[in-house]
Chain A
Amino acid sequence: MRFVSALFLSAAMGAALLMSMAGVSKAGGADVFKSKGCAACHYTDGPAKEKTIADQLAKKGPELWYAGSKFRPEWLGAWLADPKPIRPYKYNSLTEKNAGGHPKLSGGDAGQVKDFLMGLTVKGVAAAPPMKDIKKIKGKKIKGKLTFTKKQPCSGCHLYPARKKVTGGFTGPSLVNAVARLNPNWIQAYMENSKAFKPVKDMPNFAGILSKADIRNVTKFIMSFKPKAK
């Protein structure tokens, strides 16, 4: 009995320690975010601030105030330590190719900033399902593919992995690796009400054009992509 109590006590202390460490990591991540100059290009306090095209073009990088709802933590941590271009063109540019060069963070800093950013969530967007369950998300992949590739112009601006090669347009972020990067629940929320996240953007608003079911199907299709090297 004494042994069980001691075990319980040490488990509870361990859990408390882990929780407090997570708190330290988030707070430390905010400090690292500031000290590394990340805030010069990315704002983290929502809601969205941009009202005009000039506001949007003045931004040097994407807003991150809902990063914890948008990204997968494992992808975000790895990307911060070894960033690779997501957009074929530089952010806010239609003329300059994206040659990469986003600042790298050391492993420890990347982990702390990841924890900080993953704490920036919005109500109503559930966390991403575990990767092992990604094939179980609701939706009809074939219908989503039809919408994405034939009925709507998604492929006009976004790269995606077709059967034989990566294809699509270049002015939007690549979706080739979207399954590893994005929370499908965020894709659904964003497509249903993109103005709440990005009031000014060069992608059309599809709310009122695509139904919730259409968006679910498109999300299912995007989540079926097998990441490729490009």
Chain B
Amino acid sequence: MITMKKLILASFAAVVLSFGAAKAEETETLYKFYCAQCHGFDGNGDGPNVSQDFPVTPRNFNKGDVMGKLSDADLVNVIKEGGPSVSKSPMMPPWGKTLTDAEIAGLVKKLRVLCKCKGPS
């Protein structure tokens, strides 16, 4: 059942990423508005919310070795459903009721640029 869900998500991600991703300029605006709060403007995981009290270290998108282990479907899933959907921290919010599929697809593309990596095939 889980495999089937993963397969559907992967197919969905592939289709959206291929055809429906937001333009790079729009994605940049989205990233700065939403993601930079915790992940930082350069994606280093050092946004303005991150202090000594922050309970987790937000993902550093520039670390290709870690980001490379996550598939595009994983990234879509965590942006949409939040950290707990992939057994990560709830400090990563669920953006599925805020961002469109195309906007999320655009953000996944940006993360791949930052990490200079691809997900597992």
Q: Which residues of A contact B (CB under 8 A)?
A: 53-54, 56-57, 89, 94-95, 150-153, 156-157, 167-171, 202, 204-209
Q: How far is the CA of A204 from the CA of B47 in the complex (A)?
A: 17
Return A11 CB to nearest CB of chain B, in Å.
53
Return A228 CB to nearest CB of chain B, in Å.
15
> Quick check: B33 and A53 within 8 Å, CB to CB?
yes
Return A163 CB to nearest CB of chain B, in Å.
13
Return A55 CB to nearest CB of chain B, in Å.
12
User: In the complex, which residues of chain B have a beta carbon less than 8 angstroms from the beta carbon of A151?
Assistant: 84, 90
User: In the complex, which residues of chain B have a beta carbon less than 8 angstroms from the beta carbon of A167?
Assistant: 53
Return A54 CB to nearest CB of chain B, in Å.
8
Q: A202-B37, A205-B98, A209-B97 are in contact. Are A170 and B90 (CB under 8 A)?
A: no
Q: A89-B48, A171-B48, A204-B94 are in contact. Are A94 and B36 (CB under 8 A)?
A: yes
Chain A to chain B contacts (Cβ below 8 Å), 27 pairs: A89-B48, A94-B37, A94-B47, A94-B48, A95-B48, A150-B90, A151-B84, A152-B90, A153-B82, A153-B83, A153-B90, A153-B92, A156-B38, A156-B49, A156-B93, A157-B37, A167-B53, A169-B48, A169-B51, A170-B49, A204-B93, A204-B94, A205-B97, A205-B98, A207-B97, A208-B97, A209-B94
User: In the complex, which residues of chain B have a beta carbon less than 8 angstroms from the beta carbon of A56?
Assistant: 33
User: In the complex, which residues of chain A have a beta carbon less than 8 angstroms from the beta carbon of B19?
Assistant: none
> Quick check: A170 and B48 within 8 Å, CB to CB?
yes
